[in-house]
Amino acid sequence: MSSAPGAPFPPALVRREDLGALVDALRAEHTVIGPTVRDGGIVLSEIDGVEALPAGWTDIQDAGRYRLERRADRALFGFVLGPMSWKRFLHLPSATLWHAERKNGTFDVRETSCEAPRFAFLGVRSCELAGISVLDKVLLGDGRFDPHYDARRRGVFVVAVQCTSPGGTCFCASMGTGPRARGGFDLALTEFLAPRPHEFLVEVGSPAGASLLDRVPHRKAAPEDLRHAEELTLGAERAMPRALDMAGVREMLYSKIDNRRWGEVADRCLACGNCTMVCPTCFCTTVLDRTDLAGRAEHTRVWDSCFTLPYSRMGPGSVRASIASRYRQWLTHKLASWSDQFGTPGCVGCGRCITWCPAGIDLTREIPALRVARDTRVLAKDTRTVEKPS
Ligand code: SF4
Ligand code: SF4
C-alpha cells in the first residue's frame, strides 16, 4: 500500500509477522542498531533481523536494582530501558582525534576521519529522543560543532517505540519528555498485544519514513486503532512510579550550595561514576595521549565523569576534592546550570542513574529532601577545599 504523494502520512498497521520486512528494509540501507538480550540485560547492538529483538522479556527496575524476567507473551518491546543509551553510538566512549608520526625529522599529524556508518536506530523511546535532542544542543548548538558527533548523527533513521508500560525508575512524564513521542522520529511503533492481534500501529514522521513503510506489508489504521495507542501511552503515564517537581528547582539548588544534605548523600555515594556513564545526556570527556618509542603518537578523547577526582584537577589539585562537592556539581549541573548553558535541563527522566547507582541514590528523592533541608550551614570544610598534591 502506498501513501498518496503530497498527502500527510497516514498511520498504518503492520502485523507481527511482517515486522521482519521492516527490519530488512532498514538493513538494506543502514546499519541497524536495536535492543537485544546479552549478559543478563538488554543492550543496544547491531541487529541482523527481527529475531534478535528481546521477544518475551521484560526488565524489573528499582533504585540500585535491575533484572530481566520472562513475560507471559512474546512482546518484542515489553521492556523499557537497558543501561546503554544511544549516546554510545553518537558520542563515542573513545574516539581517536588525531595520529602523529615522526617522519624526516618532523611530525606528520593527521586528523582521524569522521566517517561513520549510516545508522538506523530501532526502538528509541520518547525520553531517549529527548536525550538525543539535548546532545544535539550540547555538541552542535550555538557555535559548537563536534565533527565526530555530527557525522554519526546526520541522517540517522529513527524508529521510535511508544512506551505502554513504565519502568520502575521512569519519571519522563514530569520532565515533559514522554511517555508518548510526538515527533523527532521517522517511524513510531506502538505494540498491540492480546486481546488484540499482535501487531504494530505505525505513525509516520517523515517522507523517509513513508518511503520505508511502502516497502513493508501494511494496512490503513482506523481511528479506533489510534485511540487504542493513545490510551496505552496514557496508561503508562498514569502508572509512572516516580515524579520530579521541577518548579523552582534551579533557584532552590543555587540556594543550597552549602547544605548539609550534600554530605548525607556523600556518605552513601561511592563516586563510581555509573550515573554519568549510563546517562543519555552526560557528555564530559577527557583526552589521553599515547606515544611509543617508534615516534608515533595518538590523541584520544574518552568519556569522563564529574565524579572522578582528576576531572576537576587544576594547578595544585582537584577543586572538587570531596564526594559531596562532586555530587552537588552533578545534580546542580543537571537540573540548574545546564539550563543556563543550553536552554534545557540535562535530565530527561529516563531513570537510569537511579537503577544503575549501586547505592540506590535517587535524584527524585534527593530534590524533595533538599527542598525541605532548611539548615544551610556548611557541612564539611572539604566541600570547597582543594586537593593537596601528593
Ligand atoms: S540524570 Fe538520570 S534520569 Fe536524568 S537523564 Fe540522566 S540518567 Fe536519566
Ligand atoms: S550517585 Fe550512585 S552511581 Fe553516581 S557516583 Fe554516586 S554511587 Fe555512583
Q: What pLDDT is recorded for position 6?
A: 44
Question: 58 pLDDT band (50/70/90 cuts)?
Answer: very high
**Residue 73: closest CA among 224, 192, 240, 236:** 192
Measured from the CA of 282, which atom of ligand 1 is nearest?
Answer: 6
Among 193, 208, 238, identify where a domain stops: 238
Domain count, the chain: 2
Assess whether 279 and 176 both reside in one domain.
no
Please check the confidence at residue 383 and state whether its pLDDT lies above 70. Answer: no
Q: Which amino acid type is present at position 372? A: V
Residues 229 and 276 in one domain: no
The dihedrals phi and psi of 158, each to the nearest 5 degrees, come to -110, 120
Point out the domain boundary residue: 189, 205, 238: 238
pLDDT of residue 378: 54
Q: Do 233 and 257 have their domain in common? A: no
**Ligand 2 test: best mutation among 262, 276, 304, 307, most atoms within 8 Å of CB?**
307
Q: Give the domain extent around 355.
A: 249-383
Q: What is the spatial distance between Cα 218 and Cα 215, in angstroms, rounded to a whole number? A: 9
Residue pair 387/321 in contact (Cβ under 8 Å)? The answer is yes
184-215 burial: b if 16+ Cβ within 10 Å, else e: bbbbbbbbbbeeeebbbbbbbbbeebbebbee
Q: Is residue 223 part of a domain?
A: yes
Ligand closest to 135 (CA) is 1
Name the pLDDT band for 3 (thresholds 50, 70, 90).
very low
> Residues 91-115: pLDDT tens digits?
999 999 999 999 888 989 999 999 9
pTM of the entire structure?
0.93
Same domain, 232 and 258: no
Confidence tier at 315 by pLDDT (50, 70, 90): confident
pLDDT at 2 over 90: no
Q: Provide, rounded to the nearest whole percent, the portion of the chain with pLDDT above 70.
A: 94
- Residue 308 is given by DSSP the state S
pLDDT digits (tens, 9 = 90+) for 222-258: 999 999 999 999 999 999 999 999 999 999 999 999 9
Give the CA distances from residue 267 to residues 145, 255, 303, 385, in Å, rounded to whole numbers and listed in that order.
39, 21, 25, 18
The reply to whether 48 and 194 lie within a common domain is yes
Provide residues with CB under 6 Å of ligand 2: 269-275, 307, 357-359, 361
- Do residues 74 and 167 both lie within one domain? yes
Confidence of residue 8 (pLDDT cuts 50, 70, 90): confident
User: Given this model, what pLDDT does residue 376 score?
Assistant: 65
pLDDT at residue 377, rounded to an integer: 63
Residue whose CA lies nearest to ligand 2 atom number 2: 357
Q: Which atom of ligand 1 is nearest to the CA of 350?
A: 8
Rounded to whole angstroms, the Cα distance separating 125 from 280 reads: 12
Please check whether residues 101 and 223 belong to one and the same domain.
yes
Number of H helices, E strands in the chain: 14, 16
Ligand 1 center to 108 CA (angstroms): 42
Contact, 151 vs 139, CB < 8 A? Answer: no
- Verify that 141 and 233 share a domain, yes or no: yes
Q: What is the residue with the minimal CA distance to atom 3 of ligand 2?
A: 357
Confidence of residue 86 (pLDDT cuts 50, 70, 90): very high
Q: How confident is the model at residue 387 (pLDDT cuts 50, 70, 90)?
A: very low
- Position of cell 566541600? 383
Domain boundary among 182, 214, 238: 238
Say yes or no to pLDDT of 384 above 50: no
N residues, the chain: 390
Q: In the chain, where do the E strands start and end?
A: 12-15, 31-38, 41-46, 57-62, 65-70, 94-103, 106-111, 119-124, 157-161, 187-192, 199-204, 219-220, 285-291, 296-303, 313-314, 317-318
**Taking 90 as the threshold, does the pLDDT of residue 374 lie above it?**
no
